[in-house]
Amino acid sequence: MRFSGTPKATQGPSQRQLRFGENVRHLLVEALQRADSGSQLLDNASITVSEVRVTPDLLTANAYVIPLGGIHADEIVKELNAYTKHFRAQIAKGLKSRGTPRIFFKVDHSFEDADRLEKLLRDPKVLRDLESGE
């Protein structure tokens, strides 16, 4: 039997995963806005949930977060992971699915990566190479 198309491992997330992840992201943002966790670090932080990636079975979600200014990011992620049951319960109320995914919070490094690339592209050596290629 032959299969056509791209192998599953090289394909990106399905539309279902993307839609479900975005729904979980919105619910997480709402839960964070009204959260009264008792943690002074979490209650006083402004946290951005930039992306939620869900596994194909929709049972696990990785939530990528960054606090305002990136200050205390590792400590905040550690606190968020300590309160994951609370957030999972809040999300379960808003999800229209059979189960609620387990949530793992991770620091979002995409802003740092973008900043590093921008600095690299502004480097005089790179600019010189770009101008000589035109």
Q: Read off the pLDDT of residues 77-129 as tens digits, 9 standing for 90 and up.
A: 999 999 899 889 989 998 888 889 999 999 988 777 777 878 877 788 777 77
10 Å CB burial of residue 13 (0-12, 13-18, 19+) is middle
Q: Parse the chain into domains and list their residue ranges.
A: 12-108
Q: Which of 30-44, 49-63, 100-114 has the highest mean pLDDT?
A: 49-63
The per-residue pLDDT of the chain, averaged, comes to: 83
> 7: pLDDT confidence band, cut at 50, 70 and 90?
low
- Tell me the C-alpha to C-alpha distance, in Å, between residue 118 and each of 110, 111, 115: 12, 11, 5
Residue 74: pLDDT above 70? yes
Residue 2 reports pLDDT greater than 70: no
Distance CA 100, CA 60 (A): 8
Query: Over pLDDT 70: what percentage of the chain?
Result: 87
Query: What span, in angstroms and rounded, lies between the C-alpha atoms of 1 and 114?
Result: 44
pLDDT of residue 134: 57
The position carrying tokens 């919070």 is: 105
Classify the C-alpha dihedral 35-102-62-95 as positive or negative: negative
Burial 106-115 (b: 16+ CB within 10 A, else e): bebeeeeeee
pTM: 0.75
- Number of Cβ within a 10 Å radius of residue 20: 19
CATH number of 12-108: 3.30.300.20
Residue 128: other Cβ atoms inside 10 A: 10
